[in-house]
Amino acid sequence: MNRRSVASSLLTAGVIFFFSAAHVYADTGASESGLIEIVTQLVFQLGVIIIAAWFGGKLFERFSLPAVLGEIVIGALIGPYVLGHLPLPGFPLGLFPFSSGFPVSAELYSIATIASIVLLFLAGLETDIDAFLKLSFVGPVVGIFGVIFSFVLGDLTAVVFSKFLFGAQYGFVHPVPLFLGVISTATSVGISARILSEKKKMDSPEGVTIVASAVIDDVLGIIILAIVIAMAKSSQISWGDIGLISLKALGIWLGFTVAGVLASNHLSQFLKRVFKDKITIAIAALALALLLSGIFERSGLAMIIGAYIMGLSLSKTDLCYVIHENLVVVQKLLVPVFFCVMGMLVNFREMTSPHILLFGLVYLLVAIISKVVGCGFAAGLFGFNFRGSMIVGIGMVPRGEVALIVAGIGLSSGVIPHDAFSVAVMMTFLTTLITPPILAKLVESDKPVFMSRRKVKDERVEIRYKMPNPETADLVLRKTILMFESNGFYVHRIVMDDVVYQIRRNGTFIVLNYDSKQMTFHCKEQDASFIHTLFYEVMAELENTMKKLQTLADKEQIGRNIFSLKTGSKKKEISVSDILSPSAVGVRLDGNTKEEILMELVGLLVRSGQLRYEIRGEILKSLLERESVMSTGMQDGIAMPHVKTGSVKNIITAFGVKKEGVDFGSLDSKPSKIFILTLCPKSLSGPYLQYMAEFSKSLVSENARNSILSCKTSHELYDFLIGAKT
């Protein structure tokens, strides 16, 4: 995390605190001391929530469960229904007391709402609208069937149980059944995508269908939510009025979406021209998402719809990755807060009551059946057999953040009662919990997923390219994505922790799994040759770039400037005594070749206890690879071999002397006699280069070099080096 990203995150948090506090002050007329007390409690609450959410997420991840479930559970535990209301020193009513009949305070819920806006803005930003419009026909149909079945059955379930659960008989278009219907439509693609990726099934027919259908689910769910919100805020419930309300909501949604997409390039140019700095551009884009969210709320729709549309509008601009990259830290700060606060709204005692538990189990069963039957039936229409249809249906079962956001909107607006919210959270939690093991078991088998009358001729193959280091891997990935896009492909990253890309063009579908060690392509057998050709072109372009880079600057002159007397500031930043160990100094190196000298220097680090014996070969190999790129032999008999490695946590140095000299490929073609070996952690850059520069200053003087060569013992040499630098 860089300093500017941290600054942007803190700035965002500061703005949230300010507006929350101002809102409270305006509404309650609190005195200055009362306002400070409210803000102080909010600060404590956020600190506890952030730490607790991290702990809950990590705990669940250790058991191979989604982190979001841990954040919800930990929120329920520290919330007002369990531990939050218990008195603490300085908090007589508890750290998370009930607030005016609502489980959490208005300011804390405001922050959770802003977090949901950030979440949906980034979700829209990650939706490849071109790929969405060009998806295969199967995915959209499966998604539409899943939405229709889950919405209708979810609504009807609430209608049937309304008298038993809420004490009044509701109709199909009553806001409570409508909201429960919308909640049951959402699909969390990240959960299923993770299982499919682990089982190498992302590019399988069932995998492609699940991911494509989930995209449709999200879009349709947002549209239906817009309609339901408009209906819930209107007293008109006749079918004619419902039609008008639906057309109005759909018109606003489509109007803003189309306008946003058409104006996206102009908007991108405006942001780049006015704000210039990448961090500021990302913050400005988030500000626009907040403004559009407010406009939608004032228009009678939900704020998250405006946030999603703003993200969708920018998804195909050249700023998409810039915005996402620079808002990741804001996402990591706020989104866990949202899920934790959603957990705080869950009343465990209420959920254990017989009527709530019964309705919750029925609603859960209906939520599962509606996706399995609706999506599975549609999949069967396109040739999937029973097993294939079950995989598609089960893959669409897990609900996620959109379901919780919709439930939170219904609860905070007073449309749905608290027990209905608890039921919705129960359904979301359990569908997310039970799906992974079932789906993993189903996709393990290699049995056919299509009916016998349909033959699948295209076999899938796996192509692996190993990467030498993370830096090279990241460079190759970026170049590969650009190469695919320049060839007319649509590249879409799946929203999940693992780096998985879907690459599409017409009938070609490729999945790319990426990590710092290798890139793995999954494709049809007939597409393998194309991938090899494309990757070969990527390597050729990178090689050509490196050749051109060789002419960009005079490396020999830069190397000589290292030992220039014009060293700039004389301020001492790093002391050699803090890094160089007396045991890592040698005055009589025996090696006669570059490799032998490097081996001896590595041996000095092992002898000093700074380097583990078993990794000395790995370090030597890295050093030799660095030397093959460009020799670290400078001039005046000095060589400064160095390398970044993940095997050390701090800068470590070995200093050696061979008075006869060794051919080290130096800039002046003279033998090297003084050797400074430096190993640095990969995460460190500034101090490492600064240390190298500071050390070089002591070697500029010929007298200093002669004094080093005249030292007879390691202790004498060490004392001289310390004295020369301190």
User: Which residues does residue 460 pair with via DSSP β-bridges, in sequence order?
Assistant: 524
Between CA 100 and CA 108, with CA 106 as vertex, the angle to 5 degrees is 125
What are the backbone dihedrals phi and psi of residue 135, each rounded to the nearest 5 degrees, phi first?
Answer: -65, 155
How many other CB atoms are there within 10 angstroms of residue 305's CB atom? 26
Going by the DSSP 8-state scheme, the letter that residue 286 receives in this structure is: H
Between CA 590 and CA 599, with CA 593 as vertex, the angle to 5 degrees is 65
CA 468 to chain CA mean position, Å: 24
Q: Domain count for the chain, please give it.
A: 3
DSSP H helical segments within 630-726, as ranges? 686-697, 702-710, 714-725
User: How far is it, in rounded angstroms, from Cα 693 to Cα 296?
Assistant: 57
- Pick from 95, 53, 96, 45: nearest CA to 74: 53
Question: The CATH number of the domain where 477 resides is what?
Answer: 3.30.160.110
Q: Are the beta carbons of 617 and 547 closer than 8 angstroms?
A: no
| 531 & 562 share domain | no
CA 674 to chain CA mean position, Å: 46
User: Which residues does residue 464 pair with via DSSP β-bridges, in sequence order?
Assistant: 520
- Please say which residue of 524, 549, 574 terminates a domain: 549
User: Which residues does residue 228 pair with via DSSP β-bridges, in sequence order?
Assistant: none
| 86 & 40 share domain | yes
Torsion over CA: 123, 125, 126, 130 (sign): positive
31-37: long-range pairs with CB below 8 Å, 24+: none
Q: Which stretch of DSSP H or E encloses residue 522?
A: strand 518-524
| 520 & 606 share domain | no
Residue 5 is predicted with a pLDDT of 47
Which residue is listed with tokens 């239906």? Answer: 224
What are the backbone dihedrals phi and psi of residue 394, each rounded to the nearest 5 degrees, phi first?
Answer: -65, -35
What are the backbone dihedrals phi and psi of residue 398, each rounded to the nearest 5 degrees, phi first?
Answer: -65, 130
Amino acid letter, residue 303: M
Residue 52 is predicted with a pLDDT of 94
| 624 & 499 share domain | no
Hey, what are 118's tokens? 């950030």
Q: Is residue 452 part of a domain?
A: no
| 165 & 241 share domain | yes
Q: Is residue 474 part of a domain?
A: yes
- Pick from 588, 546, 579: nearest CA to 675: 588
User: How far is it, in rounded angstroms, from Cα 444 to Cα 460?
Assistant: 15
| 360 & 379 share domain | yes
Instruction: Tell me the CA distances in angstroms from 22 to 18, 27, 33, 106, one per residue in order.
Output: 6, 9, 13, 12
Instruction: Tell me the CA distances in angstroms from 338 to 13, 49, 99, 330, 343, one per residue in order.
Output: 14, 10, 18, 12, 9
Question: The CATH number of the domain where 157 resides is what?
Answer: 1.20.1530.20
- Please say which residue of 529, 549, 569 terminates a domain: 549
Q: Is residue 453 part of a domain?
A: no
CA 9 to chain CA mean position, Å: 15
- Pick from 493, 519, 433, 539: nearest CA to 127: 493
- The parent domain of residue 692 ranges over 558-725
Q: Is residue 681 part of a domain?
A: yes
| 627 & 486 share domain | no
Going by the DSSP 8-state scheme, the letter that residue 670 receives in this structure is: P
User: How far is it, in rounded angstroms, from Cα 670 to Cα 636?
Assistant: 8
Between CA 49 and CA 371, with CA 308 as vertex, the angle to 5 degrees is 85
What single string gives the DSSP state of each residue in 579-648? TEEEEEEES----SSHHHHHHHHHHHHHHTTSS-GGGHHHHHHHHHHHHHHS--B-STTEE--EEEETT-
Question: The CATH number of the domain where 620 resides is what?
Answer: 3.40.930.10
Q: Is residue 122 part of a domain?
A: yes
| 377 & 346 share domain | yes
Q: Is residue 451 part of a domain?
A: no
Residue 565 is predicted with a pLDDT of 46
| 255 & 398 share domain | yes
Instruction: Tell me the CA distances in angstroms from 73 to 54, 85, 123, 335, 717, one per residue in order.
Output: 12, 17, 23, 15, 61
Residue 655 is predicted with a pLDDT of 93
What single string gives the DSSP state of each residue in 296-318? HHHTTS-HHHHHHHHHHHHTTST
| 10 & 39 share domain | yes
Q: Are the beta carbons of 260 and 316 closer than 8 angstroms?
A: no
Amino acid letter, residue 547: K
Hey, what are 311's tokens? 């993200």
pLDDT less than 50: residues of the chain: 1-11, 13, 15-30, 454-458, 565-572, 726
Hey, what are 336's tokens? 């866990």
- Please say which residue of 417, 444, 471 terminates a domain: 444
By three-state DSSP, how is residue 510 classified?
A: strand
Q: Is residue 449 part of a domain?
A: no
Q: Please, which residues have CB within 8 angstroms of residue 324's CB and are 6 or more apart in sequence?
A: 122, 125, 126
| 509 & 578 share domain | no
| 666 & 714 share domain | yes
Q: Of how many residues is the chain composed? A: 726
User: How far is it, in rounded angstroms, from Cα 523 to Cα 538?
Assistant: 18
Question: How do strand 652-662 and strand 580-586 relate by DSSP bridges?
Answer: parallel
User: How far is it, in rounded angstroms, from Cα 47 to Cα 50?
Assistant: 5
